[in-house]
Structure 1
Amino acid sequence: RWNGRKQNYSAVLGGRRTKEGMINDGLTVYFGSKQTHLFFRFYEKDYERASQEMTSVEAIREMYGLRNRYEISMRKEISTDFIKRYIEQDFDLADEGVKIINDNLTFYDKEGNLDSEWYDMMGRMDAYHFTVRPEAPDLNRKYTWFERGGPVSTYLLLKKAEELTGESRLEEIFNEAELTERQEKFLKEFRMIRGANV
């Protein structure tokens, strides 16, 4: 069982058809969304190695032991800050990778305790937390969307139609309109930025 910052996951069991029959290419598990700043991929490396060396997975495990691999995908500020810190401090990339995973994913055993096998395998329990600088809300993009997206022309059409009909539905619509949750969040961030810059 797992919990943490990364709520989304997907699992893919790969395989292919050959002359000898179906071959299992192993399981790949993804945590997080590919659209976010941080994304994880865990896969069974021994299956990949067996395919490369044209031997069985059992033979690979006998030679090398059970070997799985994890990959961390970073984007935007997170990747830039991580590389800058690495250049300045020259830390162990594998250790930092484990700390990043530990900060985003917490694994539990069947009894609900921290999964000691998982943390023994990872080699550590401490975590590294990214601090991402929030992007300032871009009001110009909202204006551009409004200008290009059609709402302005629709408003003008209805306004001119109401001048002919004498109706006032537009005014009622504006009076009853509410911001969406996402728009409220944008406005809150915009207020904070404006307040900080005053």
Structure 2
Amino acid sequence: MDVIYLKELRKKMRLNQTNFAKSVGVSRQVISQYELGKKPFSLETYRKFKQSFGFEECESGRLRFMIDYLRITFMSVRDLEHFTKTFLLIPFKEFHSYETKLMMYNHLWKRGDIWIFDYHDKFETNNYQITIQLSGSGCRQLEVMLEYYDWTWQDLLANMRLAYGADMKVTRLDIAIDEVYQGVGQEKEQFQLQDMISKYYKQELYFDKMKKFNFIGGGSLIYTQEKYEEERQGISLYFGSRQSEMYFNFYEKRYELAKEERISVEEALEIFDVWNRYEIRLAHKKADSVVDEYINGVDLAEIGRGLINSRVTVYDGTNAFGAYLADSKWQRLFGGTEPLTLSTNPEPYDIRKTINWLRYQVSNSLAMVKEFDKIVGEDNLAYILNSGEVTEEAEKILLAIQTDVELRKGDYVNYDEVV
């Protein structure tokens, strides 16, 4: 394991080698040998060191993860009817046409909150670029179709990437993380966002590389029945800049839900089961690379926790040597014993999912083309099959499959020859 993780940990603890060594129960010489690369540094040792400062594994069931906003641009899509049916699993006739001036486009197709931007004069200009945009409600609407066809977000994005390769650019991805309400009488077990404000002033809130931290909300005074009462509106915390490629927004979702539904906060907690929401907003290259991690099999929860842990650490007091100790409530949610990387052992893309997708989504259309060719004496089916090309991403997948097949052949033993 790279010793850079050890050096970063010591930096976050704000300790010299001597006090760091005392905190983790080893000699200063051992820490020096680790950092100089003279002694092998293992993942197990890293975990033990972090546990000395209160870092622990997260507790399952405390968070729910979802894709809550998605925007993808495709450089050239000539057949929107085929695109919506094949990738969005929605017939094109369900989309309605509108004029627009958003995002430099002049035309928009809408089906609820699932939007497709294109150009009304694309045939004249030969510009077939499109952008699909799904708001939070749009993501929920598309999930209905995914569930009906037994697809996952990974299946959807993987098939898009396989078909369009580098011509597919993910320009916006939001990951929403809901903190699950633990029930009446367990409110003290929930994480209080207002504590992060006080921790900021006590220097117990570490937000590496985000630079900016801001907060709004809390409450206001309202006049009711000849007296003033406090009305809680919920706290929102912001890390980073909206113009950057990664931006966090943490807020008390329970207050927002209560206001939207015109019910009490207590009722909102019982109905929606959500305490806080932690939003990760990704843009451009960061969004595109995270989608690739997701396509390659990295779980959305692992990605979400990894991104937050890579930027934000919450502490609660110090030890005898002045090192900050990890906040236990925050650790139950996001953990912190693992190195801050997204991908460890991503599973390879399963091409058989694509074969099944072609079988169930495209085969009927191809069969119709085949019969059409018989009637009119043309060869459109062969033209369609020969029009495609193996993209760079597809070449990587096929090479991995070929290597695996060859390895399996090498493991085969001819028992007749052995006898």
Query: So what's the TM-score if we normalise by structure 1?
Result: 0.55
**Structure 2 residues not aligned, in runs of 5+:** 1-203, 319-323, 344-419
Q: Which of 244, 266, 289 in structure 2 is aligned with 1:81?
A: 289
Q: Which of 203, 210, 213 in structure 2 is aligned with 1:6?
A: 210
Paired position in structure 2 for 1:53: 261
- Residue type matched to 2:212 in 1? N
Indicate the structure whose relative CO is greater, using CA pairs within 8 Å and at least 6 residues apart: 2
SS of the residue 1:6 aligns to: coil
Q: Which of 73, 95, 98 in structure 1 is aligned with 2:302?
A: 95
Measure the CA separation in 2 of the matches of 1:82 and 1:114: 27
Q: Does 1:115 align with 2:319?
A: no
Does 64-73 or 33-42 show the bigger shift? 64-73
Distance 1:16 1:113, change over 3 A: closer
**What displacement does 1:77 show?**
1.0
Q: Does 1:30 align with 2:238?
A: yes
SS of the residue 2:248 aligns to: strand
Higher strand proportion (structure 1 or 2)? 2
**Structure 1 residues not aligned, in runs of 5+:** 131-198
Distance 1:117 1:14, change over 3 A: closer
Paired position in structure 2 for 1:39: 247
Contact kept, 8 Å, 2:302 with 2:342, in 1: the verdict is: no
Distance 1:57 1:125, change over 3 A: farther
Measure the CA separation in 1 of the matches of 2:330 and 2:250: 13
Contact kept, 8 Å, 2:293 with 2:342, in 1: the verdict is: no
Distance 1:52 1:125, change over 3 A: farther
Distance 1:51 1:17, change over 3 A: farther
Distance 1:59 1:124, change over 3 A: farther
**What displacement does 1:27 show?**
0.7
Give the aligned length: 129
Measure the CA separation in 2 of the matches of 1:88 and 1:53: 39
Measure the CA separation in 2 of the matches of 1:31 and 1:88: 28
Distance 1:67 1:124, change over 3 A: farther
Contact kept, 8 Å, 2:239 with 2:249, in 1: the verdict is: yes
**What displacement does 1:95 show?**
2.7
RMSD: 2.9
Does 111-120 or 16-25 show the bigger shift? 16-25
- Residue type matched to 1:83 in 2? V
**What displacement does 1:70 show?**
0.9
Contact kept, 8 Å, 1:46 with 1:67, in 2: the verdict is: yes
Measure the CA separation in 1 of the matches of 2:212 and 2:342: 19
Q: Does 1:128 align with 2:341?
A: yes
Paired position in structure 2 for 1:164: none
Contact kept, 8 Å, 1:46 with 1:66, in 2: the verdict is: yes
**What displacement does 1:14 show?**
6.5
**What displacement does 1:53 show?**
2.6
- Residue type matched to 1:40 in 2? F
- Residue type matched to 2:251 in 1? Y
Paired position in structure 1 for 2:313: 106
Measure the CA separation in 1 of the matches of 2:258 and 2:331: 26
Measure the CA separation in 2 of the matches of 1:83 and 1:63: 32
**What displacement does 1:63 show?**
5.2
